[in-house]
Homo-oligomer: A and B are copies of this chain.
Amino acid sequence: MKPLVLILMGSDSDLPVMEETARVLDAFQVPYEMRVSSAHRSPARTAELAAGADGRGIKVIIAAAGMAAHLAGVVAAETCLPVIGVPIGGGPLNGVDALYAMVQMPGGIPVATMAIGKAGAKNAGILAVQMLAIADTRLAAGLADFKRQLAEEVAAKDEALQLARARD
């Protein structure tokens, strides 16, 4: 199946974080491709991947990078597709550098910025599905199920806590 989402990361060291995104897209059966390309070390390749995405049928791009995280902004500069950014933490500034370098995009070129690290990577997948669901009722229904599940999981955890406390 042709990929609808392009997951780009600046370095293969970001893979353990971005597998959270992949897991969400797998669960919603949204086909995606996952590529390593750096805004700084392979700019031509990155520009090409971004500029050509639309033509290859990609609908949403997710870009992850750490430190002076330019990847999402550089990709957004080359495409009219919506771009979601995941700031990667772990360095001395704990990802605040990556967060600021992504979210503070100047007017004209948005990057939909997520939380730092794994929570953000997971949410990038969900947001991509939400965007695709605008015109895909199967996905819209899947999201409604997912939301119900989230609430049920919380309820189950609460029940488990009540049981545990009753036992004490």
CA distance A140 to B59 in the complex (A): 11
**Which residues of B are found within 8 Å of A41, using beta-carbon distances?**
77, 106, 108-109, 150-151, 153-154
* Among candidates B10, B102, B117, B122, residue contacting A68 with C-beta atoms closer than 8 Å: B102
Q: Please provide the chain A residues from 102 to 135 with a CB less than 8 Å away from any CB of chain B in the complex.
A: 102-119, 122-124, 126-127, 130-135
Does the CB pair A104–B36 fall under 8 Å?
no
Does the CB pair A80–B140 fall under 8 Å?
yes
Does the CB pair B84–A154 fall under 8 Å?
no
Does the CB pair A110–B127 fall under 8 Å?
yes
**Which residues of B are found within 8 Å of A94, using beta-carbon distances?**
92-94
* Among candidates B39, B112, B117, B165, residue contacting A77 with C-beta atoms closer than 8 Å: B39
Does the CB pair A113–B110 fall under 8 Å?
no
CA distance A132 to B92 in the complex (A): 30
**Which residues of B are found within 8 Å of A25, using beta-carbon distances?**
none
A30 at the interface (CB under 8 A from B): no
- A99 closest partner in B (C-beta): B103
Does the CB pair B80–A158 fall under 8 Å?
no
* Among candidates B37, B74, B77, B103, residue contacting A158 with C-beta atoms closer than 8 Å: B37
**Which residues of B are found within 8 Å of A106, using beta-carbon distances?**
10-11, 38, 40-41, 66-68, 115, 119
Q: Distance in Å from the Cβ of A121 to the closest Cβ of chain B?
A: 8
The answer to whether residues A97 and B101 also contact, given A12-B160, A36-B158, A92-B116 and a CB cut-off of 8 A, is: yes
The answer to whether residues A43 and B47 also contact, given A68-B104, A134-B60 and a CB cut-off of 8 A, is: yes
Beyond A36-B157, A45-B151, 13 additional contacts (C-beta under 8 Å) are: A11-B157, A12-B161, A15-B161, A35-B158, A37-B154, A39-B70, A45-B155, A68-B102, A69-B101, A92-B116, A93-B100, A94-B94, A107-B118
